[in-house]
Amino acid sequence: MTPQIRGAQLARILGHWHALPGRRRSPDYSALADAVRGLLADGRLALGVRLPAERELAETLGISRTTVSAAYRQLRDTGHARSRRGSGTWTALPAGHKMANFGLWTPADDLDVIDLGCAALAAPPQLVHAARDAAEDLPRHLTGAGYHPTGIGELRDAIAALYTARGLPTSAEQIMVTNGTQHALDLVIRLVLPPGGPALVESPTYPNALAALTARRARIITHGVSPEDPGWDDELLLATLRQTRPRLAYLIPEFHNPTGRLMPTALRERLAATAAQTGTDLVVDESFVELALDGTTMPPPVALFDRSSRVVSIGGMSKPYWGGLRIGWVRASAPQVQRLAAARVGVDMASPVLEQLVAVRLLAEADTIVGERRAQLAEQRDVLVGELARLLPQWRVVAPSGGVCLWAELDGPISSALSRAAEAIGVRLAPGPRFGLDGTLERFLRLPFTLPAAELVEAVGRIASVRYDLDRGNRMRWPEPAVIA
């Protein structure tokens, strides 16, 4: 079913559309068309959505139907809308405007580059001791074949205890250990989403999740997440679920990547209930759940409100510990875990036992390690926010209360051009379009604060210099972009 946005919903996300820059020089219809184009460019209004009928939108906005008709006509003229007589008007992008180059990788690290494309921390010092202890413990596992499709028992127990401590009673039978969070997502997609099936994601969202869904040839539906609190539009998100009835919805409610927003408790409860009604499996990515900053009180897990086994939670060691430790997990009902284990045979047999033992040792020191990570991230976040305010005050940044990155709103649709220019002077960036579909989000840039403060200061200085070079129209040759994690 084609998603549709009602007049009241569109009015809410349009906000003060008549107060946009340059409004006094533009007629009402032109200002309204500009505002809709801005929503499309930012990813807050998805593509292929049927817009409200002209009369409905006119009544909602308190303007004439003639004004709305003229705005829709201008959107059609610029390629941002398509109409069919008697059927309505749908959002679109002009011909040739399309972006699908997410999830790109390079074969090796470049030590001369300040890499702000990868939102991950270096390994904690406790990792070396954990690895040594795990190696000493390995002999007791060597008498078996070493294949544990759902993970070794002690690690499953430790992960289950994490959920129980968050107020969600969990047993080891509800846990499956995977080779990282991305592997967990891929397995869930293989199990619940048929090829070509409909899937709902946020916009912006994690690029490699888009890559996994694209590999499944999923029909992707988007819901826009705002950089400002609360981030999600409750009514629009739930209405999209009801209208499109996707088989799978991939969401990041804890310090959303890349906006940093934290989903409120009330929406979590309504989301689980609506998913049960629509037959949608909710895949909840909790990669950043342990990285609350500033003493933020965490809402309960989405799975706490699950009454029909529709919520599958995924997480891993990459963000709070180290990306090189390829340990992730799935938390679901025990029957779902067994089905995932059966599906896994076509991908791999099991996760490495030694790495699982390392994970057990690190989780035993979680209070110390994660506490140090939070203090480090809070300091680096404040440094990054301060430098942006000093050198790029025209950019708009909402400091997140957790996670590892800022979602900066730029002073123009320059994200890709800026990222290419920055690469030439030794700064690797993740431009906004990588986090969306079809070339949207050009006014945004993800900036992680996972590097040491001195490197963040240097990076912002370089970014500021090339930002001003763009205004002078300097031409450069652009290299290929690199990994985003």
Q: In the beta sheet, which residues pair with residue 447?
A: 406
**What's the confidence (pLDDT) of residue 3?**
83
Could you tell me the residue ranges of all domains in the chain? 7-91, 114-119+368-471, 126-365
Residue 345 has pLDDT above 90, yes or no: no
Residue 481 has pLDDT above 60, yes or no: no
pTM for this model (two decimals): 0.82
Q: Which of 222-231, 279-288, 325-334, 400-409 has the lowest mean pLDDT?
A: 222-231
DSSP state of 365: T
d(CA 161, CA 168) in angstroms, rounded, equals 9
Q: Write the CB contacts of 15 (distance below 8 Å, at least 6 apart in sequence).
A: none
d(CA 443, CA 346) in angstroms, rounded, equals 41
Domain 7-91 has CATH 3.30.160.60: no
d(CA 20, CA 26) in angstroms, rounded, equals 10
Query: Tokens 């140090």 belong to which residue?
Result: 372
Q: Between residues 1 and 67, which one has the greater pLDDT? A: 67
Fold of 114-119+368-471: Aspartate Aminotransferase, domain 1 (3.90.1150)
Residue 108 has pLDDT above 90, yes or no: no
**What's the confidence (pLDDT) of residue 104?**
37
204 upstream amide cis, omega within 30 of 0: yes
Across the chain, mean pLDDT equals 90
Residue 101 has pLDDT above 50, yes or no: no
Question: Architecture of 126-365 per CATH?
Answer: 3-Layer(aba) Sandwich (3.40)
Containing H/E element for 8? helix 7-14
- State the alpha helices, DSSP H only, in 181-333: 181-192, 207-215, 234-244, 265-278
Is residue 302 a contact partner of residue 272, using CB atoms and an 8 Å limit? yes
**What's the confidence (pLDDT) of residue 479?**
47
